[in-house]
Chains A and B, each alone.
Chain A
Amino acid sequence: MATILKRIASGNTPAVQECLDTYGGLVWSLALRMLPNQNDAEDAVQEIFIDIWKNAERFDEAQASETTFIAMIARRRLIDRMRKENRKPNIDSLEDILVEPEGNDQNLQTCVEAQEAAQAMKNLRPEQRQVLHLSIVQGFSHQEISDNLKMPLGTVKTHARRGLLEVRELLGLGNSDDKKEATV
């Protein structure tokens, strides 16, 4: 059977309900984590699902799982909303985050890429892993990370970029030529 997104792209409207049932929890969880209140999160989730339907035909199962593709679309919208409204992530303080244990395996079954990304993160240098975690998982800006970690902004950016390139490579999303050229 074709993937849910392929069916949506081909105009199979009942697959929309399946999409919501399958990925609603994922999108809702991402929104609640990145946006400060439930109303904002609800508005964002509505927008995200419209984005998903619009982009369904772009999904390439050879490149990534449907789960990761949908999470990517959700993150785009959530980042956009956070930037436009200058919102902070939905957590108390960065200090609290820093003392939380990382790499909880509770939800690593989400998809293959989730497991591989978790493994890839373990292979990074500690400072890269920390910056990536604060930036991508917790939604802090590079400036906020710089301020809280007392780390120069340029260094934060370098750790984040190099760490992401490394993970991208380990997930098989890039190639060695890219890596040689990308020395950010």
Chain B
Amino acid sequence: MNEEKKERLFELLADQSMVGLDEKELMELKQLKIQFPDWENDLSFELAAAAIGFTNLDTNKIVPASLRARILADADKFFNPTEEPREVRSFAPRKDVSSPATETVGSIVEVEPNRPIWQWLGWAVAAAACVALAFNLWLTRVQPTTEIVKQPENIQTPTPKLSEAQERDQFIASATDVVKKDWKSPIDEQKILGDIVWSNSQQKGYVRFRGLPTNNPTKECYQLWIVDETQDKKTPISGGVFDIAENGEIVIPIDAQLEIKKPIMFAVTKEKPGGVVVSKQTEFVAIAKV
């Protein structure tokens, strides 16, 4: 009797994975799984069918841009139903996390909340000379002779290791194709200094900031974006999220979620805690065109 039932169980599992089951068959399968609890979570038939299903499948088809955008919007709703904070890297002690951030670009950009990131490029290029000049003057006249990078005090390092600033220096010395670009703030009066270095061959890079306003990690975080020429420009690639708990210089390794083929711009936005899948691009903090 048990043999017959188990045989029927296999029949239904096989049919389910090939052509699906009707309501009656689903009920029958459910009852049989109660009798054979080892098969309750079995996926082997479906996995076998899926593997057969690869036959002659052209997986190089490109998902339409509009569909891709809809899926990412779904993801944003799915993964961020609440405002609960998620794991975010912090690069300085959070002794003053409750204090509000200093002036941000949010109010400025909100005038045109849907303006795409790349539309800022023209403006950014126009502002680039001023920012670069100011940065250069600051570096050559104000900066101490020895560059001191503040170490994150609350990150536990199990073994002695280089600081991120030292790793950045080593990286620059070792990579032969390092691209280095200065950050520019989208608004004139905002002083955000620093740069981004990136190596395509190593798929590695660092961002460095001085004077990036602190953020309240319970309400927001910073998120780095990489606009790749080969990707849909509406959905740049996330380069990681981070908090700023005190002013000063910070160095952050880039955590690109995908292979970067041809970066054309890096940008930092303010997002909800934990970051987002797709940025609404309403709070730009810094941009660096390659």
Taken together as a complex, chains A and B put the C-alpha atoms of A114 and B56 apart, in Å, by 10
From B43-51, B152-160, B166-174, the one touching the partner chain is B43-51
**Quick check: is B216 within 8 A (CB to CB) of the other chain?**
no
Taken together as a complex, chains A and B put the C-alpha atoms of A32 and B123 apart, in Å, by 42
Q: Which residues of A contact B62 (CB under 8 A)?
A: 24-25, 28
- Cβ contact within 8 Å between A46 and B68: no
**Quick check: is A149 within 8 A (CB to CB) of the other chain?**
no
Q: Which residues of A contact B56 (CB under 8 A)?
A: 102, 104, 106-107, 137
- Cβ contact within 8 Å between B59 and A110: yes
Taken together as a complex, chains A and B put the C-alpha atoms of A108 and B55 apart, in Å, by 7
Least CB distance from B278 to A in Å reads 8
Contact with B along A155-175 (1 / 0, CB 8 A): 001001100110110010110
**Quick check: is A63 within 8 A (CB to CB) of the other chain?**
yes
**Quick check: is B70 within 8 A (CB to CB) of the other chain?**
yes
Least CB distance from A41 to B in Å reads 9
Contact with B along A64-93 (1 / 0, CB 8 A): 100011011011100110110000000000
> Which listed residue, A32, A49, A108, A118, touches B71 by the CB 8 Å rule?
A49
Cβ-Cβ contact count across A and B, 8 Å cutoff: 216
- Cβ contact within 8 Å between B11 and A184: yes
**Quick check: is B111 within 8 A (CB to CB) of the other chain?**
no
Least CB distance from A40 to B in Å reads 12
- Cβ contact within 8 Å between B53 and A30: yes
**Quick check: is A152 within 8 A (CB to CB) of the other chain?**
no
**Quick check: is A183 within 8 A (CB to CB) of the other chain?**
yes
- Cβ contact within 8 Å between A76 and B274: no
> Which listed residue, A11, A29, A64, A137, touches B86 by the CB 8 Å rule?
A11
From B14-22, B137-145, B202-210, the one touching the partner chain is B14-22
With A21-B258, A165-B14 known as contacts, the answer to whether A46 contacts B74 (CB < 8 A) is yes
**Quick check: is B237 within 8 A (CB to CB) of the other chain?**
yes
With A168-B45, A171-B51 known as contacts, the answer to whether A20 contacts B72 (CB < 8 A) is yes
Interface size class of B (residues with CB under 8 A): 35 or more
- Cβ contact within 8 Å between A71 and B60: no
> Which listed residue, B10, B14, B46, B59, touches A76 by the CB 8 Å rule?
B46
**Quick check: is A16 within 8 A (CB to CB) of the other chain?**
yes
**Quick check: is B163 within 8 A (CB to CB) of the other chain?**
no
> Which listed residue, B7, B14, B19, B231, touches A181 by the CB 8 Å rule?
B7
Some 19 contacts from A to B, beta carbons below 8 A apart, are: A17-B75, A17-B278, A20-B68, A21-B258, A28-B67, A29-B61, A30-B57, A33-B57, A49-B74, A49-B75, A53-B75, A69-B47, A71-B53, A102-B56, A135-B18, A137-B52, A142-B19, A174-B44, A182-B7
Task: List residues of chain A with CB under 8 Å of any chain B CB.
Answer: 11, 13-18, 20-21, 24-30, 32-33, 42, 45-46, 49-50, 53, 63-64, 68-69, 71-72, 74-76, 79-80, 82-83, 102-104, 106-108, 110-111, 113-114, 116-118, 121, 132-133, 135-137, 141-142, 157, 160-161, 164-165, 167-168, 171, 173-174, 178, 181-184
For the complex of A and B, the 3 pairs showing the least CB-CB separation, nearest first, are A117-B51, A114-B54, A168-B48
Known: A72-B46, A171-B47, A182-B10. 15 other contacts (CB 8 A): A13-B86, A13-B274, A14-B241, A68-B50, A75-B53, A106-B58, A113-B51, A136-B18, A136-B52, A161-B11, A164-B17, A167-B51, A173-B44, A173-B45, A181-B3
